[in-house]
Structure 1
Amino acid sequence: MLAMVNAAAASRDGDQESSETDDTRHRIEENDYIRTVVVTCAEDLYFLRMPVCLICGSIGQGVEGTMVTCVTCAQSYHTYCVGQHDKLSLTVVKRGWRCLDCTVCEGCGDGRDESNLILCDECDISYHIYCLDPPIESIPQGPWRSSAFLNDYFQLSLTVVKRGWRCLDCTVCEGCGDGRDESNLILCDECDISYHIYCLDPPIESIPQGPWRCKW
Protein backbone atom coordinates (compact mmCIF):
# COMPACT_ATOMS: atom_id res chain seq x y z
CA MET A 1 0.00 0.00 0.00
CA LEU A 2 2.85 2.38 0.91
CA ALA A 3 4.50 1.66 -2.44
CA MET A 4 1.24 2.48 -4.25
CA VAL A 5 0.91 5.77 -2.33
CA ASN A 6 4.51 6.70 -3.12
CA ALA A 7 3.99 5.82 -6.78
CA ALA A 8 0.82 7.91 -6.92
CA ALA A 9 2.60 10.85 -5.25
CA ALA A 10 5.53 10.55 -7.64
CA SER A 11 3.15 10.43 -10.60
CA ARG A 12 1.29 13.48 -9.29
CA ASP A 13 4.55 15.38 -8.76
CA GLY A 14 5.68 14.38 -12.24
CA ASP A 15 2.41 15.56 -13.79
CA GLN A 16 2.66 18.85 -11.87
CA GLU A 17 6.26 19.35 -12.98
CA SER A 18 5.30 18.54 -16.58
CA SER A 19 2.39 20.97 -16.36
CA GLU A 20 4.65 23.71 -14.97
CA THR A 21 7.16 23.02 -17.74
CA ASP A 22 4.41 23.24 -20.37
CA ASP A 23 3.13 26.48 -18.82
CA THR A 24 6.63 27.94 -18.80
CA ARG A 25 7.19 26.86 -22.39
CA HIS A 26 3.86 28.43 -23.35
CA ARG A 27 4.81 31.72 -21.69
CA ILE A 28 8.18 31.70 -23.43
CA GLU A 29 6.59 31.05 -26.81
CA GLU A 30 4.01 33.78 -26.23
CA ASN A 31 6.15 36.51 -24.68
CA ASP A 32 9.73 35.98 -25.80
CA TYR A 33 11.57 36.08 -29.08
CA ILE A 34 13.33 32.98 -30.32
CA ARG A 35 17.01 33.89 -30.46
CA THR A 36 19.58 32.52 -32.88
CA VAL A 37 23.19 32.04 -31.81
CA VAL A 38 25.66 33.26 -34.44
CA VAL A 39 29.24 31.99 -34.48
CA THR A 40 31.64 34.10 -36.50
CA CYS A 41 35.31 34.90 -36.78
CA ALA A 42 36.50 37.73 -34.55
CA GLU A 43 38.39 39.14 -37.54
CA ASP A 44 35.29 39.31 -39.77
CA LEU A 45 34.98 43.10 -39.54
CA TYR A 46 32.15 43.33 -42.07
CA PHE A 47 29.89 41.05 -40.06
CA LEU A 48 30.87 42.66 -36.75
CA ARG A 49 29.97 46.13 -38.02
CA MET A 50 26.61 45.17 -39.52
CA PRO A 51 23.37 45.11 -37.52
CA VAL A 52 22.41 41.47 -37.05
CA CYS A 53 18.84 40.40 -36.35
CA LEU A 54 18.65 38.92 -32.85
CA ILE A 55 15.94 36.48 -33.94
CA CYS A 56 17.18 34.96 -37.19
CA GLY A 57 20.87 35.85 -36.82
CA SER A 58 21.23 37.19 -40.37
CA ILE A 59 21.80 40.56 -42.01
CA GLY A 60 19.42 40.29 -44.96
CA GLN A 61 19.42 42.12 -48.27
CA GLY A 62 17.09 44.60 -49.93
CA VAL A 63 13.61 44.89 -48.45
CA GLU A 64 14.14 41.73 -46.41
CA GLY A 65 17.06 43.44 -44.70
CA THR A 66 14.95 46.28 -43.28
CA MET A 67 15.80 46.60 -39.59
CA VAL A 68 14.09 48.18 -36.61
CA THR A 69 16.11 48.93 -33.46
CA CYS A 70 14.80 48.92 -29.91
CA VAL A 71 15.10 52.42 -28.42
CA THR A 72 15.88 50.94 -25.00
CA CYS A 73 18.39 48.10 -25.50
CA ALA A 74 19.54 49.01 -29.07
CA GLN A 75 19.15 45.41 -30.28
CA SER A 76 18.30 45.14 -33.98
CA TYR A 77 15.54 43.04 -35.52
CA HIS A 78 14.27 42.48 -39.03
CA THR A 79 10.87 44.11 -39.36
CA TYR A 80 9.67 40.80 -40.82
CA CYS A 81 10.87 38.87 -37.75
CA VAL A 82 8.93 41.04 -35.27
CA GLY A 83 5.81 41.47 -37.41
CA GLN A 84 6.44 45.16 -38.06
CA HIS A 85 7.23 45.22 -41.77
CA ASP A 86 3.69 45.99 -42.94
CA LYS A 87 2.90 48.05 -39.85
CA LEU A 88 5.74 50.59 -39.72
CA SER A 89 3.91 53.82 -39.01
CA LEU A 90 4.58 57.47 -38.29
CA THR A 91 4.08 56.64 -34.61
CA VAL A 92 7.02 54.21 -34.65
CA VAL A 93 9.18 56.76 -36.49
CA LYS A 94 8.35 59.56 -34.03
CA ARG A 95 8.21 57.67 -30.72
CA GLY A 96 10.56 54.78 -31.41
CA TRP A 97 9.95 51.06 -30.95
CA ARG A 98 10.61 48.71 -28.03
CA CYS A 99 11.23 44.98 -28.24
CA LEU A 100 9.21 42.62 -26.02
CA ASP A 101 12.05 42.40 -23.48
CA CYS A 102 11.96 46.19 -22.99
CA THR A 103 8.22 46.78 -23.22
CA VAL A 104 6.94 49.17 -20.54
CA CYS A 105 3.70 51.03 -19.96
CA GLU A 106 3.92 54.40 -21.73
CA GLY A 107 1.78 55.87 -18.96
CA CYS A 108 3.68 54.91 -15.80
CA GLY A 109 6.96 53.60 -17.24
CA ASP A 110 6.64 50.25 -15.44
CA GLY A 111 6.79 46.95 -17.34
CA ARG A 112 5.42 44.81 -14.52
CA ASP A 113 1.81 43.63 -14.08
CA GLU A 114 1.92 42.12 -17.57
CA SER A 115 -1.56 40.63 -17.20
CA ASN A 116 -2.96 44.18 -17.41
CA LEU A 117 -0.58 45.42 -20.12
CA ILE A 118 -2.04 45.83 -23.62
CA LEU A 119 -0.07 46.26 -26.83
CA CYS A 120 -1.21 48.42 -29.75
CA ASP A 121 -1.83 46.16 -32.77
CA GLU A 122 -0.21 48.72 -35.09
CA CYS A 123 2.72 50.42 -33.34
CA ASP A 124 3.46 48.07 -30.36
CA ILE A 125 3.04 50.90 -27.81
CA SER A 126 1.94 49.45 -24.46
CA TYR A 127 -0.27 50.65 -21.63
CA HIS A 128 -1.68 49.21 -18.44
CA ILE A 129 -5.45 49.23 -18.81
CA TYR A 130 -5.64 51.44 -15.69
CA CYS A 131 -3.08 53.92 -17.07
CA LEU A 132 -5.17 54.71 -20.14
CA ASP A 133 -7.13 57.96 -20.29
CA PRO A 134 -9.87 57.04 -19.62
CA PRO A 135 -8.92 53.70 -18.02
CA ILE A 136 -10.67 50.51 -19.08
CA GLU A 137 -11.75 47.60 -16.90
CA SER A 138 -10.39 44.63 -18.86
CA ILE A 139 -8.17 43.63 -21.78
CA PRO A 140 -10.10 44.14 -25.07
CA GLN A 141 -11.04 40.90 -26.84
CA GLY A 142 -10.45 42.26 -30.34
CA PRO A 143 -7.78 44.51 -31.93
CA TRP A 144 -6.70 47.58 -29.95
CA ARG A 145 -4.99 50.70 -31.28
CA SER A 146 -3.33 53.37 -29.17
CA SER A 147 -4.40 57.01 -29.28
CA ALA A 148 -0.89 57.93 -30.48
CA PHE A 149 -1.28 55.73 -33.56
CA LEU A 150 -4.82 56.94 -34.27
CA ASN A 151 -3.75 60.60 -34.00
CA ASP A 152 -0.88 60.05 -36.44
CA TYR A 153 -3.12 58.02 -38.76
CA PHE A 154 -5.68 60.84 -38.74
CA GLN A 155 -2.99 63.38 -39.62
CA LEU A 156 -1.85 61.21 -42.54
CA SER A 157 -5.44 60.94 -43.72
CA LEU A 158 -5.63 64.75 -43.68
CA THR A 159 -2.70 64.80 -46.12
CA VAL A 160 -4.77 62.85 -48.62
CA VAL A 161 -7.79 65.11 -48.01
CA LYS A 162 -5.77 68.33 -48.44
CA ARG A 163 -3.52 67.33 -51.33
CA GLY A 164 -5.76 64.78 -53.04
CA TRP A 165 -4.94 61.27 -54.21
CA ARG A 166 -3.86 59.93 -57.61
CA CYS A 167 -4.19 56.40 -58.93
CA LEU A 168 -1.04 54.69 -60.27
CA ASP A 169 -1.94 55.53 -63.88
CA CYS A 170 -2.04 59.24 -63.04
CA THR A 171 0.91 59.38 -60.64
CA VAL A 172 3.25 62.32 -61.19
CA CYS A 173 6.16 63.79 -59.26
CA GLU A 174 4.88 66.40 -56.81
CA GLY A 175 8.10 68.32 -57.35
CA CYS A 176 8.24 68.73 -61.13
CA GLY A 177 4.79 67.53 -62.18
CA ASP A 178 6.23 64.92 -64.56
CA GLY A 179 5.23 61.26 -64.33
CA ARG A 180 8.03 59.97 -66.56
CA ASP A 181 11.33 58.44 -65.41
CA GLU A 182 9.39 55.95 -63.27
CA SER A 183 12.57 54.12 -62.26
CA ASN A 184 13.47 57.15 -60.12
CA LEU A 185 9.95 57.82 -58.83
CA ILE A 186 9.23 56.87 -55.22
CA LEU A 187 5.80 56.56 -53.63
CA CYS A 188 5.04 57.50 -50.02
CA ASP A 189 4.04 54.37 -48.10
CA GLU A 190 1.36 56.28 -46.21
CA CYS A 191 -0.34 58.79 -48.55
CA ASP A 192 0.86 57.68 -52.04
CA ILE A 193 2.42 61.08 -52.87
CA SER A 194 5.26 60.60 -55.38
CA TYR A 195 8.59 62.30 -56.00
CA HIS A 196 11.57 61.74 -58.25
CA ILE A 197 14.53 61.08 -55.98
CA TYR A 198 16.30 64.10 -57.51
CA CYS A 199 13.28 66.37 -56.92
CA LEU A 200 13.32 65.81 -53.16
CA ASP A 201 14.72 68.51 -50.88
CA PRO A 202 17.42 67.45 -50.27
CA PRO A 203 17.66 64.97 -53.18
CA ILE A 204 18.72 61.37 -52.57
CA GLU A 205 20.95 59.19 -54.72
CA SER A 206 18.89 56.00 -54.96
CA ILE A 207 15.50 54.46 -54.21
CA PRO A 208 15.27 53.54 -50.47
CA GLN A 209 15.25 49.79 -49.79
CA GLY A 210 12.71 49.98 -46.99
CA PRO A 211 9.54 51.99 -46.36
CA TRP A 212 9.63 55.67 -47.32
CA ARG A 213 7.38 58.45 -46.08
CA CYS A 214 7.09 61.95 -47.50
CA LYS A 215 7.44 65.09 -45.36
CA TRP A 216 3.72 65.80 -45.57
Structure 2
Amino acid sequence: ASLTDADGDEQDPSNAKLTCRICFTGENGGERAKKMLSCTACGKKYHRNCLKRWSSNRDLFHWSSWKCPSCRTCEVCQKTGDPSKFMFCRRCDSAYHCYCQQPPHKNVGHGPYLCPKHTRCHSCGSTVPGNGLSVRWFLGYTCCDACGRLFVKGNFCPVCLKVYRDSESTPMVCCDVCQCWVHCPCDGISDSKYMEFQVDGNLQYICPTCRGECSQVRSFEEAVQELWRRRDEADKDLVSSLRAAAGLPTQEEIFDVSPFSDDEDNNGPSPGPVSKIEYGRSLKLSLKGLSEK
Protein backbone atom coordinates (compact mmCIF):
# COMPACT_ATOMS: atom_id res chain seq x y z
CA ALA A 1 0.00 0.00 0.00
CA SER A 2 1.21 3.51 -0.75
CA LEU A 3 1.63 6.12 1.95
CA THR A 4 -0.03 9.52 2.18
CA ASP A 5 0.99 12.63 4.06
CA ALA A 6 -1.24 14.79 6.26
CA ASP A 7 -2.72 16.52 3.20
CA GLY A 8 -3.58 13.29 1.47
CA ASP A 9 -0.71 13.40 -1.04
CA GLU A 10 0.65 10.04 -2.13
CA GLN A 11 4.21 9.55 -0.90
CA ASP A 12 5.11 6.56 -3.09
CA PRO A 13 7.08 8.10 -5.98
CA SER A 14 6.74 5.03 -8.19
CA ASN A 15 3.06 5.34 -8.97
CA ALA A 16 1.68 8.62 -7.67
CA LYS A 17 1.82 12.32 -8.40
CA LEU A 18 4.04 14.14 -5.93
CA THR A 19 3.82 17.90 -5.50
CA CYS A 20 6.80 20.00 -4.48
CA ARG A 21 5.63 22.39 -1.77
CA ILE A 22 7.97 25.17 -2.92
CA CYS A 23 7.30 25.39 -6.66
CA PHE A 24 3.99 23.44 -6.50
CA THR A 25 4.93 21.45 -9.58
CA GLY A 26 3.74 17.85 -9.64
CA GLU A 27 5.78 14.82 -10.65
CA ASN A 28 4.05 11.73 -12.02
CA GLY A 29 6.53 9.10 -10.95
CA GLY A 30 9.81 8.66 -12.82
CA GLU A 31 13.35 9.53 -11.83
CA ARG A 32 12.58 13.13 -10.89
CA ALA A 33 9.97 11.98 -8.39
CA LYS A 34 12.34 9.41 -6.92
CA LYS A 35 15.02 12.04 -6.39
CA MET A 36 12.74 14.40 -4.46
CA LEU A 37 13.71 14.81 -0.79
CA SER A 38 11.35 14.40 2.16
CA CYS A 39 11.00 16.77 5.12
CA THR A 40 12.37 15.01 8.21
CA ALA A 41 9.30 16.10 10.19
CA CYS A 42 6.23 15.73 7.95
CA GLY A 43 7.50 13.74 4.97
CA LYS A 44 6.33 16.18 2.30
CA LYS A 45 8.38 16.03 -0.89
CA TYR A 46 10.55 18.75 -2.42
CA HIS A 47 12.66 19.12 -5.54
CA ARG A 48 16.37 19.20 -4.76
CA ASN A 49 16.93 22.36 -6.81
CA CYS A 50 14.03 24.07 -5.03
CA LEU A 51 15.63 23.18 -1.71
CA LYS A 52 18.96 24.53 -2.92
CA ARG A 53 17.45 27.93 -3.66
CA TRP A 54 15.39 27.92 -0.46
CA SER A 55 18.38 27.04 1.71
CA SER A 56 20.84 29.58 0.28
CA ASN A 57 22.22 32.14 2.75
CA ARG A 58 21.84 29.69 5.66
CA ASP A 59 25.05 28.50 7.33
CA LEU A 60 23.38 25.77 9.41
CA PHE A 61 21.13 24.23 6.77
CA HIS A 62 21.92 20.58 6.14
CA TRP A 63 19.99 18.01 4.15
CA SER A 64 20.13 15.34 6.87
CA SER A 65 18.22 17.37 9.46
CA TRP A 66 16.23 19.99 7.57
CA LYS A 67 12.57 20.80 8.16
CA CYS A 68 10.30 22.27 5.50
CA PRO A 69 8.74 25.76 5.85
CA SER A 70 5.43 24.30 7.06
CA CYS A 71 7.20 22.64 10.00
CA ARG A 72 9.18 25.67 11.19
CA THR A 73 8.00 27.95 14.01
CA CYS A 74 8.52 31.71 14.21
CA GLU A 75 10.76 32.83 17.08
CA VAL A 76 8.48 35.84 17.72
CA CYS A 77 4.88 34.58 17.49
CA GLN A 78 5.72 30.91 18.13
CA LYS A 79 3.41 29.90 15.27
CA THR A 80 3.96 28.33 11.87
CA GLY A 81 1.83 30.91 10.06
CA ASP A 82 2.43 31.51 6.36
CA PRO A 83 5.42 29.32 5.39
CA SER A 84 6.25 31.58 2.42
CA LYS A 85 6.84 34.52 4.78
CA PHE A 86 9.71 33.02 6.76
CA MET A 87 13.12 34.67 6.97
CA PHE A 88 15.96 32.46 8.18
CA CYS A 89 18.98 33.82 10.04
CA ARG A 90 22.12 33.20 8.04
CA ARG A 91 24.08 32.36 11.19
CA CYS A 92 21.79 30.36 13.51
CA ASP A 93 18.96 29.40 11.09
CA SER A 94 16.26 30.73 13.44
CA ALA A 95 12.99 31.40 11.62
CA TYR A 96 11.13 34.71 11.69
CA HIS A 97 8.00 35.79 9.82
CA CYS A 98 8.69 38.92 7.79
CA TYR A 99 5.53 40.45 9.28
CA CYS A 100 6.81 39.75 12.81
CA GLN A 101 9.87 41.95 12.20
CA GLN A 102 10.10 45.40 13.78
CA PRO A 103 9.11 47.28 11.72
CA PRO A 104 7.06 44.64 9.85
CA HIS A 105 8.21 43.67 6.34
CA LYS A 106 5.65 43.03 3.61
CA ASN A 107 7.80 40.48 1.80
CA VAL A 108 10.81 38.26 2.34
CA GLY A 109 14.06 39.76 1.03
CA HIS A 110 16.25 37.81 -1.42
CA GLY A 111 19.56 38.43 0.29
CA PRO A 112 21.01 37.22 3.60
CA TYR A 113 19.10 37.90 6.81
CA LEU A 114 20.43 38.17 10.36
CA CYS A 115 18.26 37.74 13.44
CA PRO A 116 18.52 40.11 16.45
CA LYS A 117 21.02 37.75 18.09
CA HIS A 118 23.53 38.13 15.26
CA THR A 119 23.03 41.62 13.80
CA ARG A 120 25.95 44.00 14.27
CA CYS A 121 26.57 47.29 12.49
CA HIS A 122 29.76 47.15 10.43
CA SER A 123 30.48 50.79 11.15
CA CYS A 124 29.61 51.49 14.80
CA GLY A 125 29.20 47.97 16.16
CA SER A 126 25.63 48.50 17.38
CA THR A 127 23.56 45.33 17.78
CA VAL A 128 20.25 47.17 17.32
CA PRO A 129 19.17 49.27 14.32
CA GLY A 130 18.47 52.31 16.48
CA ASN A 131 15.73 53.86 18.58
CA GLY A 132 12.10 54.12 17.55
CA LEU A 133 9.65 51.90 15.70
CA SER A 134 10.56 53.07 12.19
CA VAL A 135 14.29 52.34 12.27
CA ARG A 136 15.64 49.45 10.22
CA TRP A 137 18.83 47.75 9.13
CA PHE A 138 20.41 48.99 5.92
CA LEU A 139 22.59 47.47 3.21
CA GLY A 140 21.60 43.85 3.70
CA TYR A 141 21.57 43.93 7.52
CA THR A 142 25.15 45.20 7.69
CA CYS A 143 24.54 48.79 8.86
CA CYS A 144 22.29 50.29 11.52
CA ASP A 145 19.76 52.95 10.58
CA ALA A 146 21.96 55.97 11.35
CA CYS A 147 25.11 54.56 9.74
CA GLY A 148 23.15 53.22 6.78
CA ARG A 149 21.78 56.68 6.00
CA LEU A 150 25.28 58.17 6.11
CA PHE A 151 26.58 55.38 3.85
CA VAL A 152 23.84 56.04 1.28
CA LYS A 153 24.83 59.73 1.32
CA GLY A 154 28.40 58.71 0.49
CA ASN A 155 29.90 59.51 3.89
CA PHE A 156 32.12 56.45 4.17
CA CYS A 157 35.81 55.64 3.93
CA PRO A 158 36.42 53.57 0.75
CA VAL A 159 39.04 51.44 2.53
CA CYS A 160 37.33 50.31 5.75
CA LEU A 161 33.79 51.05 4.45
CA LYS A 162 32.90 52.65 7.78
CA VAL A 163 30.94 55.90 7.83
CA TYR A 164 32.14 59.23 9.11
CA ARG A 165 30.28 62.17 10.58
CA ASP A 166 30.93 65.90 10.50
CA SER A 167 32.24 65.57 14.05
CA GLU A 168 34.70 62.82 13.04
CA SER A 169 37.66 62.77 15.44
CA THR A 170 39.83 60.45 13.34
CA PRO A 171 41.99 62.48 10.90
CA MET A 172 41.01 62.02 7.25
CA VAL A 173 42.48 62.99 3.87
CA CYS A 174 40.54 63.58 0.65
CA CYS A 175 41.65 61.66 -2.45
CA ASP A 176 42.43 63.96 -5.38
CA VAL A 177 41.19 61.34 -7.86
CA CYS A 178 37.87 60.02 -6.51
CA GLN A 179 37.21 62.81 -3.99
CA CYS A 180 36.54 60.27 -1.24
CA TRP A 181 37.68 60.89 2.32
CA VAL A 182 39.99 58.25 3.78
CA HIS A 183 40.83 57.63 7.44
CA CYS A 184 44.55 58.25 7.88
CA PRO A 185 45.05 54.98 9.83
CA CYS A 186 43.39 53.07 6.96
CA ASP A 187 46.22 54.12 4.63
CA GLY A 188 49.04 54.21 7.16
CA ILE A 189 49.32 58.00 6.99
CA SER A 190 51.43 59.23 9.92
CA ASP A 191 50.65 62.33 11.95
CA SER A 192 53.57 64.16 10.33
CA LYS A 193 52.38 63.25 6.83
CA TYR A 194 48.87 64.34 7.73
CA MET A 195 50.24 67.72 8.80
CA GLU A 196 52.02 68.01 5.44
CA PHE A 197 48.69 67.55 3.65
CA GLN A 198 47.17 70.17 5.94
CA VAL A 199 49.90 72.74 5.27
CA ASP A 200 50.68 72.11 1.57
CA GLY A 201 47.56 72.50 -0.56
CA ASN A 202 49.48 71.39 -3.67
CA LEU A 203 50.45 68.03 -2.19
CA GLN A 204 48.51 65.35 -4.09
CA TYR A 205 46.95 62.34 -2.39
CA ILE A 206 45.74 59.18 -4.15
CA CYS A 207 43.83 56.69 -2.01
CA PRO A 208 44.45 52.89 -1.95
CA THR A 209 41.40 52.13 -4.10
CA CYS A 210 42.55 54.49 -6.84
CA ARG A 211 46.04 53.05 -6.54
CA GLY A 212 44.52 49.62 -7.14
CA GLU A 213 45.62 48.28 -3.77
CA CYS A 214 42.17 47.32 -2.49
CA SER A 215 38.72 46.59 -3.89
CA GLN A 216 36.78 49.59 -5.13
CA VAL A 217 33.08 49.89 -4.33
CA ARG A 218 31.36 51.52 -7.29
CA SER A 219 27.74 51.02 -6.25
CA PHE A 220 25.60 50.20 -3.24
CA GLU A 221 25.15 46.72 -4.68
CA GLU A 222 28.90 46.15 -4.67
CA ALA A 223 29.05 47.65 -1.17
CA VAL A 224 26.60 45.06 0.16
CA GLN A 225 28.58 42.25 -1.41
CA GLU A 226 31.88 43.52 0.01
CA LEU A 227 30.39 44.18 3.45
CA TRP A 228 29.01 40.64 3.56
CA ARG A 229 32.31 39.21 2.35
CA ARG A 230 34.07 40.93 5.23
CA ARG A 231 31.39 39.88 7.71
CA ASP A 232 31.60 36.24 6.62
CA GLU A 233 35.38 36.34 6.94
CA ALA A 234 35.16 37.87 10.42
CA ASP A 235 32.55 35.30 11.50
CA LYS A 236 34.39 32.28 10.11
CA ASP A 237 35.22 30.88 13.56
CA LEU A 238 31.69 31.59 14.81
CA VAL A 239 30.15 29.68 11.91
CA SER A 240 32.49 26.75 12.48
CA SER A 241 31.57 26.59 16.17
CA LEU A 242 27.84 26.84 15.43
CA ARG A 243 28.08 24.04 12.87
CA ALA A 244 30.07 21.88 15.28
CA ALA A 245 27.55 22.50 18.08
CA ALA A 246 24.75 21.45 15.73
CA GLY A 247 26.63 18.29 14.77
CA LEU A 248 26.98 19.38 11.15
CA PRO A 249 29.92 18.73 8.81
CA THR A 250 32.40 21.49 8.07
CA GLN A 251 31.94 23.67 5.01
CA GLU A 252 34.75 21.73 3.31
CA GLU A 253 32.92 18.43 3.89
CA ILE A 254 29.55 19.66 2.62
CA PHE A 255 30.08 18.80 -1.03
CA ASP A 256 31.21 15.27 -0.20
CA VAL A 257 28.08 14.36 1.76
CA SER A 258 25.36 16.53 0.19
CA PRO A 259 22.74 14.79 -2.00
CA PHE A 260 22.29 17.93 -4.10
CA SER A 261 23.41 17.49 -7.69
CA ASP A 262 22.51 18.59 -11.20
CA ASP A 263 19.93 15.87 -11.52
CA GLU A 264 16.82 17.79 -12.45
CA ASP A 265 17.42 18.96 -16.01
CA ASN A 266 18.81 22.30 -14.81
CA ASN A 267 15.34 23.52 -13.96
CA GLY A 268 16.76 26.16 -11.66
CA PRO A 269 19.98 27.98 -10.88
CA SER A 270 22.36 26.62 -8.31
CA PRO A 271 22.16 28.78 -5.19
CA GLY A 272 25.84 28.88 -4.22
CA PRO A 273 26.85 32.31 -3.00
CA VAL A 274 24.22 35.04 -3.16
CA SER A 275 24.16 36.56 -6.62
CA LYS A 276 24.41 40.24 -7.43
CA ILE A 277 20.72 40.23 -8.31
CA GLU A 278 19.77 38.87 -4.89
CA TYR A 279 21.93 41.43 -3.12
CA GLY A 280 20.44 44.15 -5.27
CA ARG A 281 16.90 43.21 -4.35
CA SER A 282 17.79 43.14 -0.68
CA LEU A 283 19.35 46.57 -1.02
CA LYS A 284 16.28 48.02 -2.72
CA LEU A 285 14.18 47.06 0.29
CA SER A 286 16.52 49.01 2.55
CA LEU A 287 16.57 52.03 0.25
CA LYS A 288 12.79 51.90 -0.01
CA GLY A 289 12.59 52.25 3.74
CA LEU A 290 14.81 55.30 3.49
CA SER A 291 12.79 56.99 0.75
CA GLU A 292 9.51 56.56 2.61
CA LYS A 293 10.70 58.58 5.56
Give the structure-1-normalised TM-score.
0.34
Larger relative contact order, structure 1 or 2 (CA cutoff 8 Å, min sep 6) = 2
Give the structure-2-normalised TM-score.
0.27
